[in-house]
Amino acid sequence: QVQLVQSGPEVKKPGASVKVSCKTSGYIFTRYDISWVRQAPGQGPEWLGWISVSNGDTNYAQGIEGRVTMTTDTSTSTAYMELRSLRFDDTAVYYCTREIRGTYDSWFDPWGQGTLVTVSS
Amino acid sequence: QSVLTQPPSASGTPGQRVTISCSGSSSNIGINTVNWYQQLPGTAPKLLIYSDNQRPSGVPDRFSGSRSDTSASLAISGLQSEDEADYYCAAWDDSLNGWVFGGGTKLTVL
């Protein structure tokens, strides 16, 4: 079955960087794009951006595009999301998710289990 | 503050029908389809409805979705205790060139 397994929780100081991994299995990695979504405590999800696994193109959300980098390693079917210059309000659970494209639209399925990133001094 | 607006809470008794609304604008729901996700406590979101009204394999037909103008709705009939969860709507926003989500609706089964 399709699985996305993320790396473990991280605790970082303000100003530091964090890199979260998302190892996929159960499907052909290069046929689907990967999006990253975060969810702060008690809040709704926030889309961070998307990477085309087939060609490496990226589309980052406005407001975070200068601090985030999304990459993939096709040899290990793993996606990565790096966030720099961490702030307290970056504390959230970070999810990777596979984007499935229909004829005119798309949706996310499935999601990784989530990685808690805590920014604390 | 989320781009899509949902009521923060909803409730019903077992067997009842509950509807959750999701309000957007002409740049998102007005021109793009809506997806719904269910998030059980302590777990990752799970796809519940895609393309406005399509159910993935394994999702009971008690769940249904619809979209009209700049709003969408999720209906749950025959409410069950295991339906107690947070529900989120999502749509692509052409102006923001990105996905936008609702703030979520916490469903309580009384």
Q: Cα distance from B35 to chain A (closest Cα, Å)?
A: 7
Give the tens place of pLDDT for each residue, B61-88.
999 999 999 999 999 999 999 999 999 9
Average pLDDT over residues A80-102: 97
Cα gap A118→B4, rounded to integer Å: 26
pLDDT confidence band for B5 (50 / 70 / 90): very high
Q: Is the pLDDT of residue A58 over 90?
A: yes
Assign 3-class secondary structure to chain B: CCCEECCCEEEECCCCCEEEEEECCCCCCCCCCEEEEEECCCCCCEEEEECCCECCCCCCCCEEEEEECCEEEEEECCCCHHHCEEEEEEEEECCCCEEEEECCEEEEEC
User: Are residues A62 and B96, on separate chains, in Cβ contact within 8 Å?
Assistant: yes
Contacting residues of A for B51, CB less than 8 Å apart: 102, 105, 107
Q: What is the pLDDT of residue A95?
A: 98
Q: Is B74 within 8 Å of B59 (Cβ atoms)? A: no
Q: Is B49 within 8 Å of B62 (Cβ atoms)? A: no
User: A33 by DSSP, 3-state: which?
Assistant: strand
Q: What is the pLDDT of residue B1?
A: 82
The first and second tokens of residue A47, run together, are: 């889309």
User: Are residues B97 and A59, on separate chains, in Cβ contact within 8 Å?
Assistant: yes
Average pLDDT over residues B31-40: 98
Instruction: Select from A100, A107, A111 the Cβ nearest to the Cβ of B44.
Output: A111
pLDDT confidence band for B105 (50 / 70 / 90): very high
% of chain A beyond a pLDDT of 70? 100
% of chain B beyond a pLDDT of 70? 100
Residues whose CB is less than 8 angstroms from the CB of residue A66 and which lie 6 or more positions away in sequence, other chains included: none
Name the phi and psi angles at B55, rounded to 5. Answer: -100, 130
